[in-house]
Amino acid sequence: MKEQFFEIASGLCEALRRDETLLCRLSGERSDFARFNHARVRQAGSVEQRLFSIRLIRARRQASASLALTGRADDLETAHAALAGLRETLAQLPEDPWLLIAEEPRSTSTGRRGRLPAPEEVVSAVTTSAHGLDLVGFYAAGTIYRGFANSFGQRNWHEVDSFNCDWSLYLHADKAVKQSYAGFAWDTSAFESLLQDGARRLELLGRPSRTLEPGEYRAYLAPRALEEVTGLLSWSGFSARARATRTSPLLRMEHGETLSRMVSLAENTRESIAPPFQQDGFAKPDKVDLIARGELADALVSPRSAREYGLAANAANGRETPEALDMAPGSLRAADALAALETGLYIGNLWYLNFSDRAAGRITGTTRFASFWVEGGRIAAPVNAMRFDDTIYRMLGDNLADLTADRELLLDGSTYEERSTASAHLPGALLRSLRFTL
């Protein structure tokens, strides 16, 4: 796949006219997948695909096209035809005032080899370990490829092996336990341990549910729940464009408001599955500090924002959202989370999050799957869905008691068109108080 991509890119570059610039990208994968329902395989298969994209630039005008590579000899001919079509299109387009591409070649080649099981091993582990449970889930694993080449001579390649198994154990109606297991080296015993823990929590969901009155409660957010919070902040909280247009939900942090000194967030590309380069050819730093010990740090700056606002680009994507969000751990052992909570809410998942007051950093959402009332450090009863409404400055500021030392790698489970390379590496969060309105 690598050799074919660079061969086609070089062939197109040789056909360029003097005033033309070409950027080429490859997005490919070889993946196995399985879909489960009632702990049985309902769909299984494998996918191999390679999407080739080209951008032709001339006199600050740009046009792009994409085509699927087949691996046959006529792929280059098809790419040449696409290039010819872009030449005709360019003359009809206006200049792009914010166009910025990397013109100094920085070629790289990275790879992260994993230990992936045969699909049959995963199917056996799921169907055997979940026997008698209503497990619904999806498994995807394999090698993801990303490539970049331009007419300045730059060549970048990235490939990584990873797996992601995401599932829910259902009891009835909306009573369920949601879990995931992701990484680079599959361990059947680790998967089985997770599943057994989920089964135990599923039994607890069978107890009579408790409805709590609106108010403030001590709470523990499991990593999956915290991911929803940080994911909402990622919409524009770390964006240079959002800062420049005063639309960031972390606006108050620009004027001295801080979070707890325990909170450090970074875009940690080096330890993720995301490629260390982006579509304009800029190389990503290994790490970009977004919040450092509770204080606002660097923004994610895309090339277009860099051009528009006179900033230095740090190879952020066009949306200026993290692709490898990493939160520093705390000191609390995850196994001691219930004991540290003592009395309050254990929240396994949150959903339907949105801003209730963006400028104030206020967010709202509801509890979901496997949320429990805890008394004396032990689960006492499941709780019915509740709506919270609180500010990030309380949740991860004054009310943050601790973060867990154990963190969970959460891969984006999106497979729309292709497997996502986004991820989050997060601890759980113990809060002294979380405000519920319903």
Tokens of 130: 């979940």
Domains and CATH numbers, the chain: 2-205 (3.30.2290.10), 215-436 (no CATH)
How much is the pLDDT for 73?
86
| pLDDT tens track for 123-169 | 999 999 999 999 999 999 999 999 999 999 999 999 999 999 999 99
Q: How far is CA 366 from CA 136, 284, 348, in A?
A: 22, 35, 11
Our measurement of the distance from residue 410's CA atom to the centroid of its chain's CA atoms, rounded to an integer in Å, reads: 7
What is the distance between the alpha carbons of residues 184 and 163, in angstroms, rounded to a whole number? 6
Mean pLDDT throughout 212-219? 97
If one counts every other C-beta atom within 10 angstroms of the C-beta of residue 95, the result is 9
Instruction: Identify the CA nearest to 38 among candidates 137, 120, 173.
Output: 137
**HSE toward the beta carbon, residue 266, CA cutoff 13 A:** 16
- C-alpha–C-alpha distance, residues 121 and 143, integer Å: 18
> Do residues 81 and 6 touch, judged by C-beta distance below 8 A?
no
- What percentage of the chain reaches a pLDDT higher than 70? 100
Taking only the tens place, the pLDDT of each residue in 368-387 is: 888 999 999 999 999 999 99
Task: For residues 96-125, give the mean pLDDT.
Answer: 95
289-323 confidence digits (pLDDT tens):
999 999 999 999 999 999 999 999 999 999 999 99
Question: How far, in whole angstroms, is CA 30 from its chain's centroid?
Answer: 20
Residue where the block lists tokens 């599932």: 167
pLDDT in tens, 325-334: 999 999 999 9
Q: What is the 3-state secondary structure (H, E, C) of 70-106?
A: CCCCCHHHHHHHHHHHHHHHHCCCCCCCCCCCCCCCC
Instruction: Note the pLDDT of residue 173.
Output: 79
Asked whether the beta carbons of 210 and 373 are under 8 A apart, the reply is: yes
Q: What is the pLDDT of residues 8-58, one digit of tens each?
A: 999 999 999 999 999 999 999 999 999 999 999 999 999 999 999 999 999
Would you say residue 285 has pLDDT above 90? yes
